[in-house]
Amino acid sequence: MGEQWIYLDGEFVRKEDAKISVFDHGFLYGDGVFEGIRVYNGNVYKLEEHLIRLYNSAKSIMLEIPYTMDEMTEIIVETLKKNELSDAYIRLVISRGVGNLGLDPASCSSPQIVVIAEELAIYPKEFYDNGLDIITVATRRNSPDVLSPKVKSLNYLNNILVKIEASLAGVSEALMLNNEGYVAEGSADNIFILRGGVLFTPPGYIGALEGITRQAIVELADELGYDLREEPFTRHDVYTADEVFLTGTAAEVIAVVKVDGRIIGDGKPGKETQRLLEAFREKVVEDGVRVYPSESEIEIG
Ligand code: PMP
Query: Buried b vs exposed e over 21-38: b needs ≥16 C-beta within 10 Å?
Result: eeebbbbbbebbbbbbbb
The answer to whether the 5-119 and 125-283 domains have the same CATH topology is: no
Contact 280, 221 (CB under 8 A): no
Å from CA of 101 to ligand 1 middle: 31
Å from CA of 208 to ligand 1 middle: 9
Q: Is residue 189 lining ligand 1, measured as CB closer than 6 Å?
A: yes
Return the residue whose CA atom lies nearest to atom 6 of ligand 1: 188
Beta-carbon neighbour count of residue 233 at 10 Å?
18
The pLDDT value given to residue 292: 73
- Give the 3-state secondary structure of residue 178: coil
Å from CA of 212 to ligand 1 middle: 7
Q: Is residue 185 lining ligand 1, measured as CB closer than 6 Å?
A: yes
Instruction: State the greatest distance between any 2 C-alpha atoms of the chain, in Å, as a whole number.
Output: 57
Å from CA of 294 to ligand 1 middle: 31
The pLDDT value given to residue 298: 44
Q: Is residue 212 lining ligand 1, measured as CB closer than 6 Å?
A: yes
Q: Is residue 214 lining ligand 1, measured as CB closer than 6 Å?
A: yes
Length of the chain: 301
Cite the active site residues.
152
Query: Buried b vs exposed e over 128-166: b needs ≥16 C-beta within 10 Å?
Result: beebbbbbbbebbbbebeeebbbbbbbbeebbebbbebb
For residues 194 and 176, give the distance between their C-alpha atoms in angstroms, rounded to a whole number. Answer: 19
For residues 118 and 100, give the distance between their C-alpha atoms in angstroms, rounded to a whole number. Answer: 32
Return the residue whose CA atom lies nearest to atom 4 of ligand 1: 188
Contact 155, 147 (CB under 8 A): yes
For residues 292 and 81, give the distance between their C-alpha atoms in angstroms, rounded to a whole number. Answer: 8
For residues 26 and 257, give the distance between their C-alpha atoms in angstroms, rounded to a whole number. Answer: 37
The pLDDT value given to residue 111: 98
What's the CATH number for 125-283? 3.20.10.10
| Ligand 1 atom at shortest distance from the alpha carbon of 216 | 14
Tens of pLDDT, residue by residue, the chain (301 residues): 589 999 999 999 999 999 999 999 999 999 999 999 999 999 999 999 999 999 999 999 999 999 999 999 999 999 999 999 999 999 999 999 999 999 999 999 999 999 999 998 878 889 999 999 999 999 999 999 999 999 999 999 999 999 999 999 999 999 999 999 999 999 999 999 999 999 999 999 999 999 999 999 999 999 999 999 999 999 999 999 999 999 999 999 999 999 999 999 999 999 999 999 999 999 997 788 888 755 444 444 4
Render 110-133 in DSSP notation, one character per residue.
Answer: S-EEEEEEEE--PPPHHHHHH-EE
Q: Is residue 257 lining ligand 1, measured as CB closer than 6 Å?
A: no
The pLDDT value given to residue 301: 41
Å from CA of 214 to ligand 1 middle: 8
Return the residue whose CA atom lies nearest to atom 2 of ligand 1: 188
Query: Terminal CA-to-CA distance of the chain, rounded, Å?
Result: 27
Contact 60, 281 (CB under 8 A): no
Q: Is residue 159 lining ligand 1, measured as CB closer than 6 Å?
A: yes
The pLDDT value given to residue 300: 44
What's the CATH number for 5-119? 3.30.470.10
According to DSSP, residue 197 is labeled T
Contact 216, 276 (CB under 8 A): no
Domain ranges of the chain: 5-119, 125-283
Å from CA of 248 to ligand 1 middle: 5
The pLDDT value given to residue 1: 59
Q: Is residue 204 lining ligand 1, measured as CB closer than 6 Å?
A: no
**Most informative mutation of 189, 213, 280 for ligand 1 (most atoms within 8 A of CB):** 189
Alpha-helix residue ranges (DSSP H) falling in 89-210: 125-130, 157-168
Q: Is residue 249 lining ligand 1, measured as CB closer than 6 Å?
A: yes
